[in-house]
Amino acid sequence: MALGAEAAYRANGGALAVDREFYRKVADGDRELVDSFEIPIRSGRAWKVPAGHLCRLVTVDGPQVGDLNIWNANDPRERMWAARTRQLQAAHVTTFDRLWSNLPFLRPLATITDDTLADYGRDGDGGRVHDLLGTRCDPYVNRMLSGVDFDFHCHSNLVRAVLPHGLTEFDVHDVLNVFQCTGLNEEDRYFMNPCPARPGDHFEFFAETDLLCALSTCPGGDLSVPLWGPDARDPLDTCHPIGVEVHRPAPALLTGWQQPRRAAYGGLHGLTLPRWPRG
């Protein structure tokens, strides 16, 4: 199916359809807080979210961009696939969009249930929030462009965060830039605008399977300070922590819900040759 036909496919109840009533009830219903913590500035942390639970990311005391990675906690070979999520959902995601996993799994790992920036829309430059266009800042590009080593880029923060869970730098992948405002300019080049989040804004998702999540509080803070060029300076004063909350919905709210199954494709890729009738 061509990707241009997806809107009609969703409307007809196909594989991309989302039961909005179910997720709305889960988001608005009774819940129990089972874990909460803050990720300090310019650092990272990994944590688990059990299947059927909600995870909320909160801008605690000011605007702050967060770089999010997600894995299947039981098999980290399955992880969020930013590129396919862009195609199946949008380049900037919000409530009722889903975060899809890589091949050969190809299923929703999480469904977004609440987003206080959902009405932000498009700014004067065409920027939108919760970005899947760009990826994490990393020390390799920093070294290439500046000649300086800096060990607190989002890539490094995520690497340190997942080491206690048995993962390595090779498991860190393209991110969802939560609270980040970005777009493409007239030259089709990526741009970043200051984060529009206010204290108390949040982004929440429902775990479709047991998840391992990791988040970096970006060293660029709210991205209001130029990071490159003659006006660049250390944006330390624009950095804020991000709060994380894990909630268990009331069991009755999950009646009828099932974890998504992995992709139905057999996976042979045509390696078994067909048997043609003899002429």
The single-letter DSSP state of residue 104 is: T
Per-residue pLDDT tens over the stretch 71-100: 999 999 999 999 999 999 999 999 999 999
Per-residue pLDDT tens over the stretch 239-253: 999 999 999 999 999
Longest dimension (CA), the chain: 78
Residue 235, sorted as left (phi over 0), alpha (psi -120 to 50) or beta, turns out to be alpha
Percent of the chain clearing pLDDT 70 (strictly above): 95
Token pair in block for residue 148: 């300086």
Per-residue pLDDT at 273 = 76
**Would you list the domain boundaries of the chain?**
33-252
Per-residue pLDDT at 13 = 64
Closest CA to 242 of 276, 213, 207, 262: 213
Q: What is the pTM of this model?
A: 0.93
Per-residue pLDDT tens over the stretch 15-44: 899 999 999 999 999 999 999 999 999 999
The single-letter DSSP state of residue 141 is: H
11 band by pLDDT with thresholds 50, 70 and 90: low
